[in-house]
Every structure is written in C-alpha cells, then in structure tokens.
Homo-oligomer: A and B are copies of this chain.
Amino acid sequence: MGERMDAGSAKGNHTAMTTILDVARAAGLSTATVSRALREPEKVTEKTRAKVFKAVEAVNYRPNMLARNLRTDKSFTLLVLVPGIANPFFANVTAGIEATAWKRGYSVLLGDTRDSPEREEHYARLVETRLADGVIQLSPDYAPAESRRQAPYPVVHACGCELTEAPSVRIDNVGAMHEVVAHLIARGHRRIAAISGPQANAHAIDRLKGYRQALEAAGIAFDPGLVLHGSFRMQSGFEAAREILAMSPRPTAIVSINDEMAIGAIQALAAQGVSVPSDIAVTGFDDIDFAAHSTPALTTVRQPAAEMGAKACELLIDWIEDKARDEAVHILPHTLVVRESSG
C-alpha cells in the first residue's frame, strides 16, 4: 500500500506538459483567442481575458517557448562572447549585459571563447541556427574589421577599440592611457616601463598608443626596451616586474594595461623589497574591485564595465527589434582614479 515515491525518476519527471489547447478547452475558447489574450490582451474582451487567466491558473499552463520561437523565428536570446568569464572586468561587463537583457525580456547565452578561434566559430554557428537573435562580443576583432562586417546577423561590441565599427561601445583607450602616463610624468617620472599585452591585441595596441603619445607630448623619447608583453594574467605581470627590476637604469614607474598584471607586478616588487610607490610607482587599468583593495591601493583607470555591457545590450536589442540600427560608436567616459600606488 506504500505510495509510490518517484519524485526522482528521471525524465518522466516532467509534469505532463499542458498546452495552449488545454487552456482553450478549460476556458471554452479557441487556441487563437487564448494566444491573443496572453500576447495582446487589449485585442480581447475583458471577460475572455478573465476566463483565460483563470484557465491558465487552473491547468497551470506555461507557454512552450520552443514552439513560440519556431513560429516567430525569434529566440529572445543573446549570445555573449567572452574571452574569459573568469576575468573580473569581463565578468562585470557580462553582469551589465545580463541585467539589461533581463529588463528587456531576453536571456543570455554565455560563450566563453578562451581566445580559441574554433570555439568562436562554433558559437557563431549558434546564431545561424536561430538559437540566438544576435551577438555581443567583448573582445575586439583579431582580424581586420572588414571580415566581420559581413556577419549575417546583428553583432555589437561592448569593449571596442579604435578600429571597431558601429554599432559598438568602448572607452577612449588611447586618451585614458595618455592621462595615466601624463599623471606619472607630472609626478616627476621620466623613465616609465609598460606592461602591455599580446602584440596583436587591440586593446594593448590602443593603450600603448596612448602611452607613446603622452611621452611624446612631454618630450620624452620612446624606448621600445621599456615595453614588455604580457598575457593579461597576474603571473605575467609578476614576471614582467622582475625583468623591469633588472633594467638599468631602473625605471621609476610601471604602467600596466590592466589591473591584474599591475597587481602581479606589485607582488613581485614587494617580494624583492622594492617599495611601491616610493621606489617604483605602478598603475593599472580597468579598476576592478581588487584594485581599490590591493596593498597599496592601485592607481588605475575606471572603465564603466557594467554600463558598457548595458549599453551594448541596448544597442543590440534595438537593432534586433528593428528600431533601426544605431550607426554610432558610443564612447563612454572613463576616470583616472589616483590611489596610493602612484605616489
């Protein structure tokens, strides 16, 4: 007589699906009317609307999105291509995207490309299979912009570079790094090492450009020997700092193109007994949460990560929904945040 406890049995698990037809029957209406009552309530009588809602409750109806998506050829899903979700800056951009997507009724598919062209290619396919209505890219294109222009679906960049075409969102990377370096120069530094990124990385290129511009503006000769190429990871900042310590004459300041490498560098310096900022000043870029809480607190450039994601998301959805494609490049304001590490 024991009751059957098969809450756990796989699959059969799903409560028998109730369809719009069940609702229609329960309400004594046609499926068409039910559909309209739910999607365009104003097209339906007060009375029927009530009947439908009651029936929906009664049979515990949940519309089958798969069916709706097929019929309408829309998935209400956005594909977010992230080079690495574990990177705090990208995680914040993604959070901004997700929040906005939620507000506008969209879901977010997460595609972590790990800088692998294979994975990127695969994810691109997802859009072509109608699983997503559009794409938000967080890394600027490797290839020249032209190659992407042809994408047969809406693509928006949330963290563009100088070459990124519209619609897209970015900050003025060149100008920002210019400010950072100018700030150090103003404090008397003239020999400033740079921890950059991979040679071909678009953000690295932009920021390095700002670095050179600032030096030039101050009449300081650019010395390629002072530029090291890291991988954006802390470890590579750590290693770069050791190389910098070995230089002679020793630089008095280090600019890093992101916060993580700056933090790695600070650790390397501390390990060698070099004091920051009194012996060497260090700056980062991005203003991730840890920047404010590192020891010493890191001077850096704040990028409005969440806002960038949010804006990109708005642009994409507007595009998808045909409120015309926004042909602008949105440059959001950055802020030089001066903290302890720059003296």
By a beta-carbon cutoff of 8 Å, the part of chain A in contact with chain B is 7-11, 13-15, 17, 62-67, 69-70, 73, 75, 77, 80, 84-86, 88, 91-92, 94-95, 98-99, 102, 107-112, 119, 122, 125-126, 128-131, 149-150, 152-154, 233-234, 238, 260, 263-264, 266-267, 270, 289-290, 292-297, 319-320, 322, 324-325, 327
Contact = CB atoms under 8 A, between A and B. Distances in A.
B86 A91 contact: yes
Contact of A86 (B67, B88, B263): B88
Given A65-B131, A66-B69, A149-B7, A109 B112 contact: no
A34 to B, nearest CB: 16
A146 to B, nearest CB: 11
Given A77-B109, A102-B122, 9 more contacts: A9-B325, A10-B154, A66-B69, A86-B91, A88-B91, A98-B112, A109-B110, A267-B295, A294-B294
Given A10-B324, A152-B13, A319-B10, A64 B293 contact: no
A98 B110 contact: yes
Contacts of A327: 8
B126 A107 contact: yes
Contacts of A152: 13-15
Nearest to A13: B152
Contact of A129 (B15, B63, B131): B63
